């Protein structure tokens, strides 16, 4: 058995993390709650035990989803999806008050 990592984003399972800007990653629940007025995207990362001969392309989406549901570890990543100029000012204000 080998350990693989899969990512689930909007119902699609992939081998690589979707392209989000890492500076827009929200690292704490408090930050997520503080910016609840914007759209936040969630990417789930699964750590899975798979057979040594596992080939991602040969497995159906249903089987991959079942593997994700039975994963030994799940890590949720949250990202800011849309950031406007006014949001940037507001977010800097929130960071200054709440996170320092």
Residues 6 or more apart whose CB falls under 8 angstroms from that of 83 comprise: 24, 38, 91
pLDDT at 21 exceeding the cut of 90: no
**Residue 5: how many CB atoms within 10 A of its CB?**
14
Residues 100, 55: Cα–Cα separation, whole Å: 46
Residues 23-72: tens digit of each pLDDT: 555 555 555 555 555 677 788 999 999 999 999 999 998 999 999 999 99
pLDDT at 77 exceeding the cut of 50: yes
| Residue 41 bridge partners (DSSP) | 79
pLDDT at 94 exceeding the cut of 90: no
Residue 99: pLDDT band (50, 70, 90) is very low
């Amino acid at each position: 058995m080998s350990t693989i990592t899969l990512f689930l984003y909007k119902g699609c399972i992939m081998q690589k993390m979707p392209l989000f800007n890492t500076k827009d990653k929200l690292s704490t629940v408090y930050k997520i709650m503080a910016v609840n007025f914007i759209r936040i995207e969630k990417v789930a990362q699964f750590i899975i035990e798979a057979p040594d001969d596992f080939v991602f392309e040969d497995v159906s989406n249903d089987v991959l989803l079942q593997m994700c549901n039975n994963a030994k570890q799940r890590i949720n990543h949250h990202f800011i999806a849309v950031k406007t100029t006014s949001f940037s000012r507001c977010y800097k204000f929130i960071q200054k008050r709440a996170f320092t």
